[in-house]
């Protein structure tokens, strides 16, 4: 198990991009390393590889704010995120000292309505804003050393955003939702966090 790894369960969707970057910056500033299923091919072994990734991560963060109908026809509910939450929840029940599950949503009480099995679990409500994601991450993860602040995270978020066009040009990628680009973003966020010590 990797003690600093956080399995990040979120939609691969351009509309989610601001929150995607906020999660990366926030988790990295907290001293954690986000990991995602980007790059895992859609074939018979996908579920095994997702489960392995969950089991090798000390924490998982599940963003359920986009569990809605897809925009392209036929419109279907996006089940991947609750499904992966189910896998992580089962693993955490099995090994509570090895895995901790945290659930994020944009709207208060909506998650409990769509997922009543989770009654009694508090969801972190980020209000669909990068600042909200950072605020909730700071409440959810308690650090031993100096606690990062939301204003610092927001500054690192702006710095990361400004560097993205060049990052994509350098890697030849078209989108941020690729395995290699995700890793590059994590290292970029870490290097920004380390360089920006006002």
Partner 1 sequence: MATSVKIATPMPSTEQVARRLGISGERKRTILKLAEDAVNSYYQRSKSDSRSTAAVAKRAKAA
**If binding is defined by CB under 8 A, does position 69 make contact with partner 1?**
no
Task: Give CA–CA dist 34/6, Å, rounded.
Answer: 5
Exposure of 165 by Cβ count < 10 A (0-12 exposed, 13-18 middle, 19+ buried)?
Answer: exposed
Strand partners, 124: 104
Among the listed residues 58, 2, 59, 24, the one whose alpha carbon sits nearest the alpha carbon of residue 193: 24
Binders in 78-137 for partner 1, by CB under 8 A: 89, 92, 100-103, 118, 121-122, 124
Beta carbon of residue 107, minimum distance to partner 1 (angstroms, whole number): 17
**If binding is defined by CB under 8 A, does position 63 make contact with partner 1?**
no
Q: Total residues contacting partner 1 (rule CB under 8 A)?
A: 46
Task: Give CA–CA dist 103/64, Å, rounded.
Answer: 7
Beta carbon of residue 12, minimum distance to partner 1 (angstroms, whole number): 19
Residues in contact with partner 1 by CB under 8 A are 2-4, 28, 30-33, 59, 89, 92, 100-103, 118, 121-122, 124, 139-145, 155, 158-160, 162-163, 166-167, 170, 183-184, 186-188, 190-192, 194-196
């Amino acid at each position: 198990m990797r003690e600093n790894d956080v399995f990040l369960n979120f939609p691969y969707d351009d509309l989610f991009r601001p929150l995607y970057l906020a999660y990366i910056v926030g988790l990295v500033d907290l001293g954690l390393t986000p990991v995602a299923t980007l790059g895992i091919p859609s074939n018979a072994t996908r579920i095994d590889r997702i489960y392995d990734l969950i089991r090798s991560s000390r924490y998982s963060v599940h963003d359920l704010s986009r569990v809605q109908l897809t925009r392209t026809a036929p419109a279907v509910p996006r089940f991947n995120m609750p499904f992966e939450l189910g896998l992580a929840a089962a693993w955490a029940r099995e090994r509570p000292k090895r895995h901790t599950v945290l659930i994020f949503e944009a709207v208060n009480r909506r998650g409990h309505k769509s997922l009543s099995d989770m009654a009694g679990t508090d969801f972190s409500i980020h209000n669909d804003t990068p600042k909200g994601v950072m605020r909730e991450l700071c409440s959810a993860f308690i650090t031993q050393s100096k606690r990062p602040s939301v204003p610092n995270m927001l500054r690192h978020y702006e710095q990361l955003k400004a560097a993205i066009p060049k990052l994509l040009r350098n890697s030849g990628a078209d989108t941020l939702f690729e395995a290699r680009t995700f890793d590059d973003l994590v290292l970029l966020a870490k290097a920004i966090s380390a360089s920006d010590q006002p």
